[in-house]
Amino acid sequence: MKTIVTEMKIPDVRQIAVEKFGDERGFFAEVYNEKTFKTLGLATHYVQDNHSRSAKNVLRGFHYQDMNAPQGKLVRCSLGKIIDIAVDIRVGSPTFGQFVSAELSADNLLQLYVPVGFAHAFLVLSDFAEVQYKCTGFYNPAAEGNIIWNDPDIAFPWPIDDPILSQRDQAASSLQTYLKQPAFIYGK
């Protein structure tokens, strides 16, 4: 099985492509292999698997967990299509406030590794999408934070103006507010 890792514009975030074998019956792909990931320098210790289903135009994020319960994510879309975004929120990082994104779908089987120190969001582009992500840390509500989806300092070029948001995401703070009590300092 072949796994190809592509370094993104922000080197700590990785796009992962896996080989897919198909015939008239369907297809098979190995989306995670601890030995392969270790050889490629990717995170291999995951403690929690999450699975969400969302309708078109649902936007989830930008979410993160602070250093009380840091959490990296290996994200894939197993049904439909999403745009997946990671924003560097490590104060002092040369790429602070910058983002990388990838279109993940059930067809392309791409995955995005979002490390600790990044806020994460996705927008559903298809009628429905199911997103699965492996986490390097356990969910802890006391450690969670979020940054508003349309923050002008991030300036992500969303393809829609009026996404469907949770109440929590509607009330998210700005990147400038985050800077007053940052969760992550680069190099620490």
- The catalytic position among 64, 113, 120, 133 is 133
| pLDDT tens readout for residues 143-160 | 999 999 999 999 999 999
Fold (topology level) of 46-185: Jelly Rolls (2.60.120)
Pairing of strands 90-91, 184-185: parallel
Ranges of residues in the chain whose predicted pLDDT is under 70: none
Active-site residue, 120 included: no
Residue 44's identity, in one-letter code, is T
Among candidate residues 83, 159, 146, the one with its CA nearest the CA of residue 118? 146
Structure tokens at 183: 């969760």
Structure tokens at 32: 């995670």
- The catalytic position among 63, 113, 120, 178 is 63
What is the three-class DSSP state of 110? Answer: coil
| pLDDT tens readout for residues 106-130 | 999 999 999 999 999 999 999 999 9
Active-site residue, 133 included: yes
Rounded CA separation 71/175 (Å): 19
Query: What is the model's pTM?
Result: 0.94
Could you tell me the residue ranges of all domains in the chain?
46-185
Is the distance from CB of 129 to CB of 53 less than 8 angstroms? yes
Task: Give me the DSSP letters along 87-116.
Answer: EE-EET-TTTT-EEEEEEETTT--EEEE-T
